[in-house]
Amino acid sequence: MYTPDPSPTPGSITSLVNALGQTADSEREALIPRVYDVLRQIAQGWAGHGRAGGVPATELVHEAYVKLFGKGPVEWENRAHFFGAAARAMQQILVDLSRREDVRRRHAPTLAAATEDGAASLTWENLAALSEAVNSLERTDPVLAEIVRLRFFAGLTEEQASLACGMPLRTLQRKWKVARGWLLLRMEGERGV
Amino acid sequence: MTPESGSKPEFTRTAWERAAEVDRERAALAMAEAAIDIDPAARDSWLDSACAGSTDLRDRVRRLLEACEQAERMGDGLVLPPLAPPRLSATLHTPLEGVPTERRGTRFAIGERVGRYRIERFVAAGGMGEVYEARDEGLGRRVAIKVVASTTSAARSKRFEFEAALMARLEHPGIARLYEWAECDRDDRATGYIAMEFVDGVPLTQAAAAMADVGDRAALCLQLCEAVEYAHSRGVIHRDLKPANILVDGSGCVRVLDFGIGSLLDPAQRSNLSRTDGSPRPGTLAYMSPEQLRGGADSISTLSDLYSLGLVLYEVFAGRPAFSFTDTPIDAAIRAVLDNDPPALGSVNTACRGDLEAIVSAAIRKEPAARYQSVAALAQDLARFRRGEAVLVRRPGIGERARRFVRRHRVLSATLAAAAVALAAGLSVAAVQYQRAIDAEREAERRLNEARSLAKTLLFDFSAAVSKLQGSAPLRAMLAERAMAALEPLAAGTADPELLMYLAEGYTRLAMVLGVPGGSHVDQFDRAAETLEAAESLGTRAAGARPNDSRAWMVLGAVHTAKAGAAGPADYSKCLQAATECYRKAFQLRGSRVDTPEGKQAAERVAFLAGHLAAAISETDQQVREFQSSFDLYDNLIEQYPGEKLFVQSRAIVLRSYGSLLCKSRPAEARSSLSRAAEDFEGLLAADPNDYSSVRHLARCRVDLADLLSDEGRHTEAIALMDLAAGLVEERSRGDPTDTLKRDDRFDSEIWRSLPRLRAARSDLLPREQRARWAADSRSRLEAALVEMKEQRADVSPRDGIRRRRLEESLADARAAERELGAPE
């Protein structure tokens, strides 16, 4: 178990992105504390959202960590692979969480339902729909889907994402725009609005 | 990813289509990516050239680009913000200062004493704070404690004390009492809390769901109205009426919770969104009045309560919320609150049609002035409904009725497919309602068009489906007449080209089944002619309104073709020429291509009518030339679409007509042409044995071929072939005695049988005995047919007159031959 750096430096995602690109396989193990750190940053972006209070960041990090490293040693082929995997892990965790949240809400005791505001958490619900939309985008255009994952689920900035998948920034921006449009169409279509 | 085409046996067409769809999507994505940075002004023309030849691709890319721009405009907002979560949350849950963010019982500990209460249980955390169950130890009663935001003493102004006192004085069995509004010190800060009556119960909507009877539900609602009315009379507005705030206790009493406390808990929001939890969450948006959502000075009033109350009533009766926004993005939810009506109550629960629907809809009108002006008035109408008296609510205006009708009709139409007669009945409802709605909003009209075209499909497709079945003519006439009688009121009022086209088409079909020779009909020629006049005028109006719509010209072309069928010789060619013009235009509008169903049909019509026009020419050489141009058109079409039934059938008809016209002048050409036609018809008949039109054509080809044989003196062959032709229609006619067309063909067949026999009887080359037998046979069959004809028709139409005269003439011939030859031995 690694102890996360108590004070993650801003920009450590970018530095990790760079480091992953430059480090030989044998040395990557040494990067894992930084990986953990990055996961925490990603998770913090998500923590506290959804329904009141949301999920503590640490819980998200642990889940993401288990998803990424739980199956034994990982060979990171390249940085795109790493961030792709982290983004997928985050996607899966968040969707799972949203489902749990949904079940919890449905089985809440009557009085609680009566007193408590039964407001659905828009974030969680959209999340599951978005996740499905991204998965179906992957069938059509895996690159676009990857960019959405990096940007949305892993929370990378455009610059970070362009570094992570080794794509010129302008190209990435264009693709990101188109992907958002596609997702919007898709999600509106499914809601039948 | 993409399956290898055809390599696997389980590879289905659907899978292929899916793969093709993915390819199209992919192409559109790539194209959009290329286009996205192009200046929007130049983009359209760029797209037109880049997607040359594929409108589908261009449309997809356009849609995609529009969505991209929309996503761009949303920016960090609603749907897909970059690094969305924190900002998304900020949009949706603008936190109030001091509203607790922890959701466990963090304010008070179990067993802790707060003021005069002992905390017993953490109940829930709502948007407004935390709720505990507690006990007033002095009075020994259960209370609900709501913890308010941490407040400062300043917040506890005189005004709030006054309001709290006002609420505390609300004493009504339907309202949970507010006991106390107090503060305690927590961590050196003043924490406000409210002590209220603790209500044990189930939400109103849940209680109502267990009641089968609408009257019982109305009784519950009356209780609710009384409670709200009472509070309003004391100057207290609830501000947050929703099912979660309305419980039904163990004794069946409705208890409204949280009356007016929104203003205590949420002073900052009083004049704004006035939400007890301060944020426009989707779940509560669902019960918010439009004016409340807009905000503003007079946004909170008894009428906004009345609106929310109306939505609660709706849910009670409908069994589902009027609005549900759980899957809706917040901007769409807001639009819905401001603009959308929920589905008509009666369409959700048919037991609520009529008065109840009117009452509820009057409570939830978007415009406050259009609602009941007090909860008391609403309650009175509800009570009248309960007692079975007439309600006072103003009936909805014509526009509203049209909107509702459309909703109702949509539900209706799904079930209409079951029975065509029910469909016709449904259409008459549609027509009457539509007439009333003619001046209503365009939207209503558009939706009605949808419903109507659905009905159209069902009616006419049904009609087409039965038309080949034996005995269907009267049924089709009945269907068509009922449908058109129902639609007649529409004809007067409309200028909608779609509707005009539809009506013209409907009238044409009605005319055909009433009495246009050439197809099965029920003999009403005068009515058919009248109906065709109406069809022509409607079709002409449609084509005038939509000169660039190929469908309008197709419809008008069909009208003229039917008119030609019904016209006398004087007008025949004129009608055909008019029809040809229409189809030519339609074909041109389709890009002079046959790759669409309409283009194909228009092309077929042009060739077909050319054949018919040629048939009407009297000078032989010119006629042959005209026919040849018709065949050239067909050859061209069939080359492009080999085996296309429409073209083959159509050409065979023209071939037959050509052949029978040239029988006398050019027998060799006639024979080859008739033989080719007969072959085609045999093929068509083999593919579809119920195709009576091919039966008739085939029979008539054989009649002419038999006549050609007679001309050559091959009498025995001619008689055999003619009997074959007669047998073909007689067989069909026996199975379908009500069909006039088949009955007529049956009489014709007797004439046919007699023709080669009587010609043979005059041939001196054949044995006298044989000739005498042919003459006698013919005479007796024709006599029998004539008797049958007289029995069947009391009222003889001109056309029957012709047939009858032909029968009589044939009979006279037969008798003369018989006299001449003597009786056979």
Q: Report the top-level CATH class of B113-197.
A: alpha beta
Q: Is it the case that residue B500 has pLDDT exceeding 70?
A: yes
- Which residues in chain B touch residue A187, judged by CB atoms under 8 angstroms apart? 79
- Which residues in chain A touch residue B32, judged by CB atoms under 8 angstroms apart? 178, 181-182
Higher confidence at residue A142 or residue A56? A142
Write down the domain spans for chain B: 13-74, 113-197, 201-380, 397-572, 590-688, 719-821
What is the model's pLDDT at position A28?
55
Give the model confidence (pLDDT) of B743-770 as tens digits.
788 888 999 999 999 988 888 888 888 8
Task: Categorize the per-residue pLDDT at B42 as very low, low, confident or very high, splitting at 50, 70 and 90.
Answer: confident
Spatial separation of the C-alpha atoms in residues A110 and B250, rounded to whole Å:
14
The verdict on A66 touching B (C-beta cutoff 8 Å) is no
Query: Is the Cα torsion angle B656, B658, B661, B664 positive or negative in sign?
Result: negative
In B, minimum Cα distance to A152 occurs at: B83
Give the model confidence (pLDDT) of B430-476 as tens digits.
444 444 444 344 444 544 454 455 445 444 544 554 444 445 556 56
Higher confidence at residue B812 or residue B822? B812
Q: What is the mean pLDDT of residues B574-596?
A: 88
- Which residues in chain A touch residue B257, judged by CB atoms under 8 angstroms apart? 114-115
The verdict on A118 touching B (C-beta cutoff 8 Å) is yes
B234's enclosing H/E stretch is: none
Q: What is the mean pLDDT of residues A21-48?
A: 60
Give the model confidence (pLDDT) of B197-237 as tens digits.
888 888 898 888 888 888 889 999 999 999 998 888 877 88
User: Which of the residue ranges B318-322, B431-435, B792-796 has the most confident prediction, judged by mean pLDDT?
Assistant: B318-322
Q: What is the mean pLDDT of residues B72-99?
A: 34
What is the model's pLDDT at position B479?
59
Which residues 29-58 on chain A approach chain B with CB closer than 8 angstroms?
45-46, 48-49, 52-53
What is the model's pLDDT at position B825?
63
Q: Do the Cβ atoms of A181 and B131 come within 8 Å?
A: no
What is the model's pLDDT at position A150?
84
Q: Is it the case that residue B41 has pLDDT exceeding 60?
A: yes
CA distance B126 to chain A (A): 4
By Cβ distance, the residue of A45, A52, A120 closest to B85 is: A45
Q: What is the mean pLDDT of residues A151-161?
A: 79
Report the candidate in B273, B272, B289, B275 with the shortest Cα–Cα distance to residue B366: B289
In A, minimum Cα distance to B71 occurs at: A181
Report the candidate in B718, B805, B262 with the shortest Cα–Cα distance to residue A117: B262
Instruction: For the full predicted model, state whether its pTM sits above 0.80.
Output: no
**Contact status, residue B606 vs residue B580, Cβ threshold 8 Å:** yes
- Which residues in chain A touch residue B201, judged by CB atoms under 8 angstroms apart? 114
Query: Is the Cα torsion angle B559, B562, B564, B567 positive or negative in sign?
Result: negative
Strand, coil or helix: B116 = coil
Q: What is the mean pLDDT of residues B491-498?
A: 68
What is the model's pLDDT at position B132?
84
Give the model confidence (pLDDT) of B399-413 as tens digits.
444 344 434 443 332
- Which residues in chain B touch residue A119, judged by CB atoms under 8 angstroms apart? 127, 277, 281-284
The verdict on A135 touching B (C-beta cutoff 8 Å) is no
The verdict on B329 touching A (C-beta cutoff 8 Å) is yes
Give the model confidence (pLDDT) of A56-98 as tens digits.
556 666 666 666 665 555 555 566 677 777 778 777 777 776 6
Active-site annotation holder among B136, B240, B723, B744: B240
Q: Do the Cβ atoms of B282 and A193 come within 8 Å?
A: no
Higher confidence at residue B574 or residue A193? B574
Q: Do the Cβ atoms of A112 and B71 come within 8 Å?
A: no
Spatial separation of the C-alpha atoms in residues B376 and B406, rounded to whole Å:
32
Is CATH 1.10.260 correct for B397-572?
A: no
Give the model confidence (pLDDT) of A7-17 as tens digits.
334 445 666 66
Higher confidence at residue B391 or residue A101? B391
Q: Do the Cβ atoms of B202 and A110 come within 8 Å?
A: yes
| Mutation site for A-interface testing, chosen from B26, B29, B147, B335 by largest number of A Cβ within 10 Å | B29
Spatial separation of the C-alpha atoms in residues B105 and B121, rounded to whole Å:
9
**Contact status, residue A15 vs residue A159, Cβ threshold 8 Å:** no
Cα→Cα distances B545→A29, B206, B539, B540, Å:
76, 55, 10, 9
Spatial separation of the C-alpha atoms in residues B545 and B562, rounded to whole Å:
22
Catalytic status, residue B240 = yes
Amino acid identity, position B485: A
Task: Categorize the per-residue pLDDT at B616 as very low, low, confident or very high, splitting at 50, 70 and 90.
Answer: confident
Q: What is the mean pLDDT of residues B412-431?
A: 35
Give the model confidence (pLDDT) of B544-573 as tens digits.
988 988 889 999 999 999 898 888 777 888
What is the model's pLDDT at position B309?
95
Q: Is it the case that residue B65 has pLDDT exceeding 70?
A: yes
Phi, psi of B133 (to 5 degrees): -95, 135
Half-sphere exposure of B341 (CA within 13 A, CB side): 20
CA distance B522 to chain A (A): 47
Distance of CA B270 to the CA centre of its chain: 46
Q: Looking at the domain that runs over B201-380, which CATH code has it been given? A: 1.10.510.10
What is the model's pLDDT at position A24?
58
What is the model's pLDDT at position B268?
39
Per mean pLDDT, which range of B2-16, B69-83, B90-104, B146-160 is the poorest? B90-104
